[in-house]
Amino acid sequence: MFTRRSLLQGSLTAAAALALRPDAAAAANAPGVTDTDIKIGQTMPYSGPASAYGAIGRAEIAYFRMINETGGVNGRKINLVSLDDGYSPPRTVEQIRRLVEEEQVAFIFNSLGTPSNSA
């Protein structure tokens, strides 16, 4: 049985594994990736009917802060840009577009919920 903790650990492990791939180190010219930073994005329901799950996003922000304080991943700091989607698919589309087009994140990480991910 999955718990919130095991799901969070699995998701963060997967993100770290992607960041440590040998070809990821060579992708310095990819959007959201520099020699010193990896910028990733996510949407979370910090408001709206599923706002209690916003705690997951806050925990992930704290986790990446801890990783950065201990030297980052493969020498790179992880910059997590986490935006509120209010658990509303139309708002999720707006926020994801902002993450990709304006924030230029390398990838979208662990957004919450079937409606949001289906959007």
Closest CA to 110 of 3, 7, 5: 7
- In the chain, the number of structural domains is 1
pTM of this structure: 0.72
Range of the domain at 55: 4-118
Separation between Cα atoms, residue 46 and residue 26, nearest integer Å: 35
Separation between Cα atoms, residue 114 and residue 119, nearest integer Å: 8
**Residue with more model confidence, 112 or 67:** 67
Average pLDDT estimate for 31-55: 94
CATH at residue 46 = 3.40.50.2300
Please report, rounded to a whole number, the percentage of residues in the chain having pLDDT higher than 70.
76
Q: What is the pLDDT of residue 34?
A: 92
Q: What is the pLDDT of residue 110?
A: 87
Average pLDDT estimate for 2-29: 59
- Look up residue 119 and give its two tokens: 């959007």
**Residue with more model confidence, 116 or 7:** 116
- Report residue 71: phi and psi, to 5°: 110, -5
Q: Beta-carbon neighbour count of residue 23 at 10 Å? A: 6
pLDDT per residue as tens digits for the range 7-16: 566 666 666 6
Q: What is the pLDDT of residue 4?
A: 62
